[in-house]
Amino acid sequence: TVAVEVTSARPLGTLLLLRLWKEPLVSLVPDRWFCACVTVTGPLGDNDDKGDTGDTPRATFPCYRWLESGLLELREGTARTPNGATWEPQLLQQRQEERKERREAFHQVRVRLRGLRGGDSWRSFEDIQEGVSRGSGGKSQVPEGGSQVPDPPAEYVLQHWQDDAFFGAQYLSGVNPVLLRRCARLPPNFPVTPPMVAPSLGPATTLQREMEGGRVFLADYALLEGVPTGRIAGEPQFLAAPLCLLWLSPRGQLLPVAIQLSQQPGPQAPIFLPGDGPWGWALAKLWVRGAHFALHEMVTHLLHSHFLGEAFALATHRLPTCHPLYQLLLPHCCYTFHINILARETLLNPGGIIDQATALGREGTLELVARGTAALTYTELCVPDDLENRGVTDIPNYYYRDDALEIWGAIKSLVQGIVALYYPEDSDVAEDYELQDWVGEIFTYAALSNEKTGFPSKLRTRAELVKFVTMIIFCCSARHAAVNSGQYDYAAWMPNTPGTLRRPPPRTKEEATAELLLGTLPSPSATGALLALLSVVSYEGGEQRPLGSRPQELLTGAAPQQLLETFRRRLAAISRRIRRRNAGLALPYPYLDPACVQESVSI
């Protein structure tokens, strides 16, 4: 970082615009300069901003862009909406020209979410453990410069992966903690009978009583039914679309009590139960975990975090730089284009890691993303609404819920404050045509103009704006951390999170054997390819940008800065609470500690 100081021999007066000019370099060597901002101090006429400190007046012109050659115009960084202000004609013209230029510049990278359309078998579980340990050095690996996550998570998974209580707990605080729903009545395609689950529930209650009491839950993987699967090393791969019934026991443990590996009931789709013997039950849970991996990676993670984050970022980058929404949201757009382009080039490309390591392969992934886009709802991205809709507001030991609600509340409070500064009345929101274009673009390209998603196409009130912006910030920061940061911890012991399965789902309980289970697991080469990926993407390398850090100098002025400082103090308090809780847990849940949550989707 280099600070360049230039002194003017005479007063500058009131500053309207600042122009940066970079001469082109006639050379084969790349010559790009990144300008963070320009700060002007001294007598500045109408630009004077001493605040209450009596310091030398200063005006800040934020840039945060690369300069290659030519002219770049910057305006003073105080955020302003396009309405209700007396504009200098030159500033109004600059704003309109900047808006046009940014829309054209980002037009070419607009991507609609249309639905992007080595080894032999393991010999034993000891063989798997040796292979995984050899590949990872026997512990959770962290790339140089990455944040260290303690080794115990992966070790805990190895020790407990077959425990029913741990299987259930992963729905609450694993890497896809947004799937589970309260089950008030069984779906017609899941014919579980009371005698089937009576041994699990015990003699003091019944299935009907437990459902009426809100203690029965369902994990439904219907979105996976019929999705195409690929081939790895010439071998066909398999994926199920199971239904899994879980029960909240009096001890507060969430336990699986019945599993059907198909959406279509019948003689060839038996309902597996805990009493079916060790291999039948273990095999059924393995197929659920395989389905869980596919739904988590391709919908909850890839679609809801990366692709939606890209749509949010692109619409935001097409706003003028002086718009308050641009200045509020820019830190939450950082590096999203870069990581998504990298993913398309190395993961989703034909023959890439998705083809090498997952049952879906590239074509199945694109089909599942298309299905996820069609099923997308605004509700599922808004934490309080999602928890209420799924009926999980009071389930115990739901650490994701507890932490997510606190972070959502902190973000909402910040956004409310910022919105109040720039939009005194609801009419100010409704009349901001730049804001309306912004939300309209998100509706068009993220929700594909589908009104059934519940995504707004216009924002008419301050409350609607606050909720929408809170959702974007949460999804681009905390939600991504929740579904990304624990991937290696929970997948390092491959049988807990298989990326693919090599045998068809069993059609009878009698088929289940130890040999079938081992033969169903992904090959060593597919396992290695997946763990190599997850060991990198689970940890944010390089410069850390925790939520609230906002390295860019934006939203200048005393009032916005005071709101941001309050936000940071609130996040610090949340961090302290989470660390106190985790100190008493056998398996901590650190993924929503604000100190570990990055501001944007960047890995």
- Residue 481 in this model has a pLDDT that exceeds 60: yes
The CA distances from residue 229 to 88, 135, 232, 354, 554, in Å, are: 60, 27, 10, 11, 46
Which ranges in 382-430 belong to alpha helices (H)? 383-390, 399-422, 426-430
DSSP string covering 93-135, please? HHHHHHHHHHHHHTTTT----S--------S-HHHHHHHHHHH
Residue 217: its pLDDT value, please? 98
For 408-449, what is each residue's pLDDT tens digit?
999 999 999 999 999 999 999 999 999 999 999 999 999 999
Note the helical H segments in 161-318: 164-173, 194-201, 207-212, 278-295, 308-317
Q: Supply the pLDDT for residue 497.
A: 96
Return d(Cα 119, Cα 528) in angstroms, integer: 10
Q: Measure the CA–CA gap between 152 and 493, rounded to whole angstroms.
A: 12
What pLDDT score does 25 carry?
58
Q: What is the pLDDT averaged over residues 39-64? A: 70
**Confidence at residue 380, expressed as pLDDT on a 0 to 100 scale:** 98
* 87: confidence class by pLDDT, cuts 50, 70, 90: low
Going by pLDDT thresholds of 50, 70 and 90, the confidence category of residue 502 is: very high
Domains of the chain: 17-76 (no CATH), 293-487+536-596 (1.20.245.10)
Nearest to 490 by CA among 152, 44, 131: 152
**What mean pLDDT comes out for the span 361-381?**
98
**For range 318-346, the mean pLDDT:** 95
Say yes or no to pLDDT of 535 above 70.
yes
Predicted confidence at residue 142, as pLDDT, reads 31
Predicted pLDDT at 86:
60
pLDDT, tens digit, 9 for 90 and up, residues 274-317: 999 889 999 999 999 999 999 999 999 999 999 999 999 999 99
3-state secondary structure string across 326-338? HHHHHHHHCCHHH
- Tell me how crowded residue 132 is: count the other CB atoms within 10 A of its CB: 21
* Mean pLDDT, rounded, of the chain: 88
Mean pLDDT over residues 88-107, rounded?
Answer: 77
Which residues 6+ apart lie within 8 Å of 380 measured at CB? 178, 304, 386, 389
Q: What percent of the chain has pLDDT over 90?
A: 70
- The pLDDT of residue 59 is 85
| From 85-89, 141-145, 146-150, 224-228, the region with the lowest mean pLDDT | 141-145
d(CA 7, CA 5): 7
pLDDT band for position 48 (cuts 50, 70, 90): low
Band the pLDDT of 52: cuts 50, 70, 90. Answer: very low
Name the pLDDT band for 133 (thresholds 50, 70, 90): low
pLDDT tier for residue 537 given thresholds of 50, 70 and 90: confident
The share of the chain scoring above pLDDT 70, in percent, equals: 89
Give residue 3's pLDDT: 77
